[in-house]
Amino acid sequence: MAKSTRPVTIERPTPADERPAWSRVGIVAAVGFVLGVAWPKLAGVKVGPNVPGDLKAQAEVTAPPASAQAAPAAAAPPPTAAPTAEPAAAPSNKQTVTVGPGKISRCWDKKNKKVSDCGALQLDPVAVPKLQGLAECPSAVGLSGKLTLGLEIDFEKKEVHVVKNKKDKTTIPTSTVTGIVQCASRAFANLPLEDVPNKHRNYTVQYGLTFYPPGKGPEEAEAPAAGEGEDAAGSTTSEAEANGTGVVSWDTALVRKDPKDGEVVARLVRGTKIKLVGRRNDWFKVETGGKTGWIYRGAIGL
């Protein structure tokens, strides 16, 4: 028996049938977006680098709490009390020279006659700074030791000759002493002798020096002896003696701690009476109202 055949039909889609179903596409896209954003958070997975806010939060989480950080400091024992005594001053990092009191070993009058009592000579203000400056002498670099230098002063010729004390028992090498004497001779070549009141024509004055290398210094105020074993015919001083009283002649007179550039310690008005106790060139050391200081001679009409 023969099989029956069905007729074949062909359907041609219309343009409307070929258009995509946008509603289905939108639904699929929305579902995919939601899944792509939600699943990393649900799984606890970080996608991409951390933003600054995340770094700050992470640092706050990993840092220990403030109380835990402060605990060791609170548990530390209290510091011991500081000593009441002041610490000693650190030694200077430069070469230093201390100068002892000057001693007049002999003097001569204008007739070249030796005088037994030379009195006092106001030499320290001009001589001591020159001697302290020997710390800059090339021969004194790194030097440690004591030395006595002699100054042979001729006030008539206004000359100063520097010599080494022959009786000085120093451990400093001879070549070094020679170099220091040469430096001192140059320093004293232009000494302002006109600023030094003098009674006699010639003086021989000795100063004891102590040299300290960088990093060291005297533990106490030290006054090196000059010309040990020799009798002194006089001594040097930073000021001359003065006696009497004075009266301020300026409208306002300044009393200073040191002559010329010292700190002002008092101001005196015209007519104030003062007591004179010393003199250094054009400056008088005075006492007034329980204070001591220096006043210019012109302020008291001298």
For residues 131 and 190, membership in a common domain is answered with yes
In degrees and rounded to multiples of 5, residue 135 shows phi and psi of -65, -25
Rounded to an integer, what is the distance from CA 135 to the centroid of its chain? 18
The last residue of one of the domains, among 237, 253, 270, is 237
Over residues 105-134, the mean pLDDT reads 92
When divided into structural domains, the chain yields a total of 2
**Structural domain range at position 285:** 241-300
The last residue of one of the domains, among 184, 214, 237, is 237
Residue 30 lies in a domain: no
For residues 195 and 265, membership in a common domain is answered with no
Q: What is the pLDDT of residue 83?
A: 45
For residues 178 and 217, membership in a common domain is answered with yes
Residue 257 lies in a domain: yes
Residue 265 lies in a domain: yes
Side chain identity, residue 127: A
Q: What is the DSSP string of 34-82?
A: HHHHHHHHHHT---SPPPHHHHHHHHHHHSPPHHHHHHHHHHSPPPPPP
For residues 218 and 246, membership in a common domain is answered with no
Side chain identity, residue 26: G
Residue 212 lies in a domain: yes
The last residue of one of the domains, among 237, 257, 282, is 237
Residue 266 lies in a domain: yes
For residues 274 and 195, membership in a common domain is answered with no
Q: Which residue has the higher pLDDT, 62 or 185?
A: 185
Within 10 Å of residue 236's Cβ, how many Cβ atoms?
23
Q: Are 154 and 191 in contact (CB under 8 A)?
A: no
User: 91 pLDDT exceeds 60?
Assistant: no
Min mean pLDDT across 47-56, 192-201, 275-284 is at 47-56
List CB contacts of 115: < 8 A, sequence separation 6 or more. 106, 107, 108, 109, 200, 233
Q: What is the pLDDT of residue 51?
A: 45
For residues 247 and 204, membership in a common domain is answered with no
Residue 20 lies in a domain: no
Q: What is the pLDDT of residue 41?
A: 62
Q: What is the pLDDT of residue 73?
A: 45
For residues 228 and 250, membership in a common domain is answered with no
CB-count exposure of residue 228 (10 Å: 0-12, 13-18, 19+): middle
Q: Indicate whether this model's pTM tops 0.85.
A: no
Instruction: Indicate which CATH number applies to the domain containing 245.
Output: 2.30.30.40
pLDDT tens readout for residues 150-184: 999 999 999 999 998 888 888 899 999 999 999 99
User: 141 pLDDT exceeds 80?
Assistant: yes
Residue 251 lies in a domain: yes
Residue 164 tokens read as 């080494």
For residues 262 and 161, membership in a common domain is answered with no
Side chain identity, residue 264: V
Q: Are 104 and 118 in contact (CB under 8 A)?
A: yes
For residues 126 and 151, membership in a common domain is answered with yes
pLDDT tens readout for residues 228-274: 556 789 999 888 777 888 999 999 999 998 888 889 999 999 999 99
Residue 39 lies in a domain: no
For residues 268 and 206, membership in a common domain is answered with no
213 — pLDDT class (breaks 50, 70, 90): very high
For residues 145 and 272, membership in a common domain is answered with no
Closest CA to 233 of 202, 187, 272, 273: 202
For residues 105 and 143, membership in a common domain is answered with yes
